[in-house]
């Protein structure tokens, strides 16, 4: 699996995994804060950015294997790992598959999946239907639809230029890649990791935006189950705290890594 990567800085490695509809570009504001302390490796996940061709069968286990092979190729036996939303789910799968490789884990607005099989099946069906609509109605329709879901309501307070840049980044994806990602790596397709959280003993920071009540609740539950986790909610931020409060987010991540 050849995943497109962007690498900046030197020293111990940190691997950054973006959310659905994102790419390595998602971390443009965080990378300058991390680069003095880490070699920053930002990946286009399968079906996204310049890794669209890697979306034939993009299951979470296959994604984990591809990411571990990438870090092997780059010579990093251990690394810090940061994932946002879908990238946070991917980070959890990677950490569960190879806990000895992950020096520390930072998850933003992530979840371990859906514990109830019926709920997973319903979500998978909904994701399949959305994938069909993306292919039928096109990327422009989908990006407008996606930005309008309640999960991202707090992003209306972003400056106009920031909203325009976010939309432009999403439009650099392909309908085929996003549809394939939904079908392979969507929340309904992945295995639930709730029962595995107690095994993840690496230092873990769970970040949510205080306005994102659903994920605040999920991450409080996660923190109670993980041996070395702490949970912090950033005020006046929603699901994408790294976009809505970039300086506070960067300070939090750099401070955590430094400690």
3-state secondary structure 84-101: ECHHHHHHHHHHHHCHHH
Per-residue pLDDT at 55 exceeds 80: no
Is the distance from CB of 104 to CB of 12 less than 8 angstroms? no
Top-level class of domain 5-258: alpha beta
For residue 57, what pLDDT is reported? 62
Q: 51 near 4, Cβ under 8 Å?
A: yes
pTM above 0.95? Answer: yes
d(CA 30, CA 252): 11
Cα separation, 175 vs 141, whole angstroms: 10
Q: Report residue 205 as tokens.
A: 């920071």
**C-beta separation of 13 from 39 below 8 A:** yes
Does residue 53 have a pLDDT over 70? no
Average pLDDT score over the chain? 96
Residue 1 is predicted with a pLDDT of 74
What residue spans define the domains of the chain?
Answer: 5-258
Lowest mean pLDDT among 43-47, 51-55, 195-199, 238-242: 51-55
Share of the chain above pLDDT 90, in %: 96
Give the H/E segment covering residue 247: helix 246-258
Mean pLDDT of 223-242: 98
């Amino acid at each position: 699996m050849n995943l497109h990567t962007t690498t900046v800085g030197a020293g111990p490695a940190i691997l950054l995994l973006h959310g659905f509809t994102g790419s390595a570009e998602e971390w443009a504001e965080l990378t300058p804060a991390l680069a003095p302390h880490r070699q920053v490796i930002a990946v286009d996940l399968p079906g996204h950015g310049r890794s669209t061709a890697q979306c034939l069968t993009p299951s979470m286990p296959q994604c984990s294997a591809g990411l571990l092979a990438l870090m092997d190729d780059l010579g990093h036996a251990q690394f810090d790992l940061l994932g946002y939303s879908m990238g946070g789910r991917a980070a959890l799968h990677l950490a569960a598959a190879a806990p000895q490789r992950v020096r520390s884990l930072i998850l933003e607005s992530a979840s371990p999946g859906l514990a109830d099989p019926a709920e997973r099946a319903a979500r998978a069906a909904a994701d399949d239907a959305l994938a069909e609509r993306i292919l039928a109605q096109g990327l422009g329709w989908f990006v407008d639809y996606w930005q309008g879901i309640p999960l991202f309501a707090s992003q209306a307070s972003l400056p106009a230029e920031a909203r325009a840049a976010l939309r432009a980044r999403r439009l650099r994806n392909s309908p085929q890649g996003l549809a394939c990602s939904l079908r392979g790596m969507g929340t309904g397709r992945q295995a639930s990791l709730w029962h595995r959280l107690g095994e993840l003993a690496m230092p873990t920071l769970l970040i949510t935006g205080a306005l994102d009540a659903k994920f605040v609740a999920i991450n409080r539950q996660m923190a109670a189950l993980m041996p070395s986790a702490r949970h912090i909610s950033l005020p006046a931020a929603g699901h994408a705290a790294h976009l809505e409060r970039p300086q506070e987010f960067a300070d939090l991540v750099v401070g955590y890594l430094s400690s």
